[in-house]
Structure 1
């Protein structure tokens, strides 16, 4: 599991971002100062850093320049409210791998993180038996096989990539990680959307889309409990909406 260092002195921001990343299978360590970030990055166990430029003890640009001068090549995504082009260019020239301005869309941040991790080769392997590849075919009883690559956040049906909207994938991933367990609608909403308001209409629509794209037998409704991706095929009655 990739480890992300979140460097920011705003506790509310840290709480929100850490929760988001944790739900997407990223291990998060947070620090609130440049000195603590310097120590964490020198330990060598960080796969990527999210670095705020406005730190209480040191400017983030100075920190990244210092680290690169030392030969530390840990990927860094710069986070800041500074939006002037010359500041972005300077951050990249000093050694930043990407730059994202606050406020930002959560899905954009996740996409940037995964893109940087892919470029750096973190956690990648050619072993198709690795644990982040999940074969859901046993639940489909001979229907078109479905494979989920949790590292690349890709889904394949019968060998063909299936395009899922970000929140469709988020729902699927949560069900995959809880495979064999019936999870309530409220639990899915809290984990994926961060709220359980508007449960029925929002979640039901996403489940319907997943069934259309991946096969009717994959996500099963357990009346009185919620939804489940079973480890073996279930009868038509269990799959009723």
Structure 2
């Protein structure tokens, strides 16, 4: 990994889900996805700490976390309060809440994309690749 490799913050409270996402991304057939550095956070508080210390290119954001709704963090990223003057990462809501109003709420809160759980590994890789391709 080089300093130019993308960084992804995975905000997911379930340890098994974090492990699975990391394994899928590490085996991706897209080089930028495979070479990405994956940071993880099991809660909103941990995500805020990571974002306060680290530049990231993409946040994969679970909406239902033990300490609140992930959309709160999406709003903070849009407002710039979570990244302290650094560029805003792309945000993809990753959730089992798949009703049309859930998708609309995620996009309204500032998410750049939405991925329904459960999803196929190829869908995860495609969404990550799409958003990483937009980084400057």
**TM-score range relative to shorter protein:** 0.7 to 0.9
Deviation at residue 109 of structure 1 after TM alignment: 0.8
- Structure-2 residue corresponding to 1:111: 126
The unaligned stretches of length 5 or more in structure 1 are 122-241
- Structure-2 residue corresponding to 1:4: 8
Q: Which of 90, 99, 105 is the aligned partner of 1:90?
A: 105
- Structure-1 residue corresponding to 2:55: 45
Dislocated runs of 4+, deviation >6 Å? none
- Give TM-score, length-normalised by structure 1: 0.48
Deviation at residue 70 of structure 1 after TM alignment: 2.5
The structure number with the bigger radius of gyration is 1
Deviation at residue 94 of structure 1 after TM alignment: 1.3
Pairs within 5 Å for 1:1-150: 1-23=5-27, 24-70=34-80, 72=83, 73-121=88-136
- Give TM-score, length-normalised by structure 2: 0.82
Higher relative contact order (CA 8 A, sep 6+): 2
Q: Distance in 2 between matches of 1:83 and 1:45?
A: 29
Deviation at residue 119 of structure 1 after TM alignment: 2.1
The unaligned stretches of length 5 or more in structure 2 are 28-33
Deviation at residue 15 of structure 1 after TM alignment: 0.7
Q: Distance in 2 between matches of 1:110 and 1:53?
A: 19
Q: Secondary structure at the match of 1:120?
A: coil
